Amino acid sequence: MASTFISGDKFSMLTLTGKSYMDKNFNRIVETICDCGNISWKRLHVIKKGGIKSCGCLAAINCQRIALRHGLSSSTLYRIWNKMKDRCYNNKHIHYKSYGGRGIEVCEEWLNDFMSFYNWAINNGWSEGLTLDRINNANGYSTFNCKFSTAKQQGRNRRNNFLITAFGNTKCASEWADDERCTVKGDSIILRIRKGWDSEKAIIYPSMNIKVS
């Protein structure tokens, strides 16, 4: 039987606005307003079971206390964890539209427990200088969809579907950026081609060359 809800219903710190949609797994996703003022989208059945009590601010407060007890509140992983949550649940974040705004969430295990995220990271190859990367960009942050990458690897993941044909070969932008003939970064190649540049000129022309005939 489908979950029912009414605009104005409140569960812990979350009040339903009445807006909703069904995701690809047939979960009812509802818009909520947290007592702290943040607007976010949550799975209705999880809210009703009490699995989610706030937009994430309550968990942040609790986990900050845990981190303080363990001396981790100023650690790199704590900052990574906070930024991950901000992108998904803080509608004022500069990148919210690309994350929380399109339904990207943090798994319940990490959302409510910084130490769970910390232990996973330590046991899954994290070291200073690596960034948290989602394997499938259509899915959220979880133990099954995350890994640690170098900045270059993460950039390659973002560009690996943009194929460019030049000099008789077809490769993704990041692969062309590694070509000895290339004079710019992969993102610049993509930007140039989107502006109408010939693909070969987009790869070999130095950035100082603005006019291309």
Question: In this predicted structure, what is the pLDDT of residue 69?
Answer: 64
Listing DSSP states for 30-84 in one string gives EEEEETTS-EEEEEHHHHHTTS--SSSHHHHHHHHHHHHHHT-TTSHHHHHHHHH
Question: In this predicted structure, what is the pLDDT of residue 184?
Answer: 86
> pLDDT tens for residues 75-102?
888 889 989 998 888 888 888 888 888 8
| Phi, psi values for residue 169, rounded to 5° | -130, 155
Question: In this predicted structure, what is the pLDDT of residue 155?
Answer: 59
Question: In this predicted structure, what is the pLDDT of residue 142?
Answer: 93
Residues of the chain falling short of pLDDT 50:
1-2, 159, 210-213
Question: In this predicted structure, what is the pLDDT of residue 68?
Answer: 61
Question: In this predicted structure, what is the pLDDT of residue 1?
Answer: 38
Question: In this predicted structure, what is the pLDDT of residue 106?
Answer: 92
Question: In this predicted structure, what is the pLDDT of residue 212?
Answer: 47
